[in-house]
Structure 1
Amino acid sequence: MKTKFQKNLAITLFTLICSLGNSAQADNKNILMVLSSYGEKNEQGELIKPGYEFDEMSKSYLVFKSAGTNVTFASPSGGELITDNFDTEKPYNKQFLTDQQAVTLLKQTKSLSTINPNMYDAIYVVGGKGPMYDLAKDQKLKQLIKSIYEQNGIVAAVCHGPAALLDIKLSNGEYLLAGKRISAFTNLEEQAFTKKWQLPFSLEDQIKAQGAQLIKDGLMLNQVSIDGRLVTGQNPFSTADSAIAVVEKLGLATDNLPQFKDDNTIKLVEQFYVDSQAAKQTFETSKQDYSPMLLAMFGVYQSKYANTEAERNVALMLMELTSKDIDHPMLYTAIAQTYLDQNNPQQAINVLKHSKTKFPENEQINILLDEATKS
């Protein structure tokens, strides 16, 4: 039988444990995730105005949730939003869509006009083309960003999300971006990937115009810039690391946060610039951890927009490495074109003759083979 002392000790310990649990819950960090309301579809369900980037939202949310933070979705209009087209079968999107609590929160975004900045430790602006049209000029959002930043909160944005950081003047009269290291979607990336929409301005140019130092990596490579309490990511493949940087800035553990195959694939691309043979071996021995299709597509785009011979060489290596897995005429014509760009027509002819045996009716192969033969 327990003594009175033992009973009192048990009650005290139980009370202490409960208070610690409540304290931990109270200490949970609150993150405001901001999404564009600009997206619109016609009666046929076709996207006629760009919205936010679902992949960026889902990756960021999964990182923040794994870190134990509380996430609030907000937008200029509030309510359910139109997203850019996305693949529901991507693992991170599928994981988000099976989380009913997350889906409900997303369908009920809070209007920016109802947000109290004092409730949040960080604000995180998701990209997509939509922010270039609405978040870039939303004065309520700019006031929220200013307030959270000036109360020592974290301000973060990824891809086109940094458009929301433009024209924000702090209490000292300086632009938020002035003198800061900032990453965002670059002019080269716009040239390569922004085909459907006529954007209202160049994000890269406007960031520079406000006195920021634009920090950029190559086409679609992962670049996250951290300047004090300001975190920005260059493109969709910078999303997870941008979110992780926010978690770290909030003083939370970053161990065991989610990793995504496509992000790891782009990091592998970066290794090809450092040690191509080691990177090649990593891919061949751990192919299940990477996306051959993404490597191939990166090679195709890099070959088209390469500014240096090093970029062209890496592009060629990626395309040839993945041609065993991605047997597609577009890949072969891109390889051949790269050899032509390197003034190596004979190698281009060899590639095209080989690909013609597989795709004899492909018009582009035949046209390029004719050009290579005449060169």
Structure 2
Amino acid sequence: MSDWQDEWETEIDVPSLIIREAKPSDADAVRELLVEAANWMVQKGIDQWRPESFTREEVSSYFDSRRIFLGFAGDEPAAMFTLQESDPSYWGEMNDPDYYYLHRLNVRTKYRRMGLSEQMMKWAIQKTLEDGKKGIRLDCVSTNLNLNLLYQSLGFRYMATRYNGDRQFNLYEWFTTGQEEDDLDFVYFGKWDYDAIQQWAGSPEFLLGWAGPHWQYPLQDEQLDEYLSGANFPWKSDRLIYTVIHRASGQRIGHISLEDLNRETGEGWIGKVIIGSAAFRGKGLGERMVREMLRIAFDILKLNKISLRVFAWNQRAIRSFHSAGLQEQDDQRMTVQFGDKEEELLLMSIDRNSWNLYQ
């Protein structure tokens, strides 16, 4: 389990939940869960739910507009979520009744840090598939990185950021290729990833080969702290940094980032691309990692051009980048010192029009 999950779960005996759809007669149990969660948020200084919002009348009205599901630990309601078939207030023009929209996920305080959120979410995903929906969608406060990480780690990919008053909400949609062995999850990079990326640094030459000249070997925490500072707030950050997880095995296998994001010029860069786990190299995953960054850059952030630099000797990476749609810019080649010799560094790029045609 990752350190970021500490707020939600830890490695202790996890109760097995019995999950069923709630009935109107369960309204008091549902309200109790919501009020307890809201009180916890107030105590933690989280400006999200308010206890006074969950009146009996309000909670009873949920049964007219959404489906409510309770997770029981023994005979006690321990967790809940709701599903509805429309959510135009957050999803706007993207709203689609062929999806389920999940809200009000919460776990009773005494059962937190036991992995119940993950159990509930996995059950909701399975329920969505059984009901013949295209998928399941949700929103969460952009500044709550732990919550964003939870959803990302469960296969939800970033779709948009929306404003509600003075707060930003990230929209997520569960995604699968249909082949579990091929699914990758893109989870915000954090301090819990430092050890892995430091091991992947390998040597001065290897680090330069995939990370460029901005990092020095050996890769120290201070360099990574600077890299991470201010990152991963999509509506304002100049970089979005991801650890890549192989969903079926749960292994951390790679790293990639969108960097130097300039909303005024509409340009940005892909950087620090590596498949650190040797067992996953040569499987076409590098192309898929790059394509996910291009999807975010063009389809969500609405940038106009994305570029990257790659050493001319790294033919495997160049083939992956070509397959993702990037093209070499022959007039932008340069040489840099690589070990005891000079090496040619290529510029590759793609604009939004080309990306749209490539899809």
Check whether TM > 0.5. no
- TM-score of Structure 1 vs Structure 2, range by shorter chain: under 0.3
Whose Rg is larger?
1
Q: TM-score, normalised by structure 1?
A: 0.27
Q: Greater relative contact order (Cα 8 A, min sep 6): structure 1 or 2? A: 1
Q: Which protein is richer in strand relative to its size?
A: 2
Q: Which protein is richer in helix relative to its size?
A: 1
Q: TM-score, normalised by structure 2?
A: 0.28
